[in-house]
Amino acid sequence: MPISQPLDVLAALIPDGARLAIPADYAGVSMAMVAPLLKRGAHGLHLVCVPTSGIQADILIGAGAVATVETSAVTLGEAGGAPAFNRAVKSGTIRLMDATCPAIHAGLIAAQKGMPFLPLRGLIGSDILANRQDWRVIDNPFADERDPVVLIPALAPDVALFHAPAADRFGNVKIGRRRELATMAYAARSTIVTVERIVEGDLMASEESAAGTLPALYVDAIGVAPGGAAPCALWGEYETDTAAMRAYAKAARDPAAFADYVAALTGEVPA
């Protein structure tokens, strides 16, 4: 089997209704997979934003591919709020699971360890906790006095999807210091990665490169997509395309312009 596969083949590996983990805008977003997912007609996705998302979640939500959003925030950053997300919230077309960043990490880490939950400080007295029927508060069994602590259940995504600078021919993926990408992959049942390029050599061969590598053991499928995080930044490779982000924000504020944007993205009409 070739190490990389076409993106439409990868899109078929993300089933409707899947719990799909995607990283924050700074960590390596596989924007390249948005169009193949929409062309496939993906729907009912449960997005797990690790721990927030931006344009990727917004497009998928606006295009009707998403049923549930589990996140600590959805924002276009400097380009403003996430228009499609905001509309979907107001109209009640998505189920919201508002979280706080370390709770998303805690759920993934519990899954990574094969544990039913991880305790987390904070949260008590917040309306985030009040609205999360799947979270529990217990008394710390090791304390002498009353000490309530929140339990975050294991969060095992069906699929983790991200974009990275490189993979080698053995399927190892360079993740640098973005360790949450490893956490996502450890916790998920399968992991799909798009990369800028396939490199010669073995990323596991030297201590220096192995330290920033997600081993092929955790990687199920790879696709090559140069510029595949744009308009989001990719660490060590390129900066955020601010003009493109603002252009999206402007289009997404108007449902008709958003539809045109998606049609151009999926190649139904020329961009």
Partner 1 sequence: MSAAPGASPREILIATIADLLDGVRHVAVGASSPIPAAGAMLRRALNETEGKPPVRLSILGSVRHNFFTNGGVELFDCAAQGRIDAFFLGGGQIDGEANINLVGTGTYPETDVRWPGSFGSAYLYFVVPRVILFREEHSPRVFVPKVDFVSAPGVSDPGTFRTGGPYALLTGKGLFDFDKERRRFALRSVHPGHSLREIEAATGFGFDHAAAPAETPQPRAEAMRLLHGRVLDELAETYPDFAASLKDERAAA
Among residue numbers 132 through 171, which ones bind partner 1 (CB under 8 A)? 145-149
- Quote the CA–CA distance of 170 and 157 in Å, as a whole number: 24
The separation between CA 175 and the C-alpha centre of its own chain, rounded to angstroms, equals 14
* Contacting residue, 14, 47, 65, 182, with partner 1 by CB under 8 A: 182
Minimum Å gap between C-beta 55 and partner 1 is: 13
The answer to whether residue 180 forms part of the interface with partner 1 (CB under 8 A) is yes
Minimum CB distance to partner 1, residue 159 (Å): 19
214 binds partner 1 (CB under 8 A): no
What is the distance between the alpha carbons of residues 252 and 72, in angstroms, rounded to a whole number? Answer: 21
What span, in angstroms and rounded, lies between the C-alpha atoms of 44 and 66?
5
Contact (Cβ atoms closer than 8 angstroms) between residue 61 and residue 88? yes
Tell me the three state secondary structure of residue 72: coil
DSSP string, 182-218: HHHHHHSSEEEEEEEEEESS-TTSSHHHHTTEE-GGG
What the block records as the tokens of 57 is 């979640």
> Shortest distance, CB of residue 99 to partner 1, whole angstroms?
8
With CB under 8 A as the contact rule, the residue among 126, 201, 210, 243 that binds partner 1 is 126
Query: Residue 220 contacts by C-beta under 8 Å, 6 or more apart in sequence?
Result: 13, 190, 191, 192
CB of 127 to partner 1, least distance (A): 4
The stretch among 3-11, 36-44, 74-82, 247-255 that binds partner 1 (CB under 8 A) is 74-82
Cβ distance to partner 1 smaller for residue 166 or 185: 185
Q: Does 84 bind partner 1 (CB under 8 A)?
A: no
Q: Interface residues with partner 1 (CB under 8 A)?
A: 24, 26-27, 50-52, 71-75, 77-78, 81-82, 85-86, 89-92, 96, 98-103, 105, 109, 120-129, 131, 145-149, 177-183, 235-236
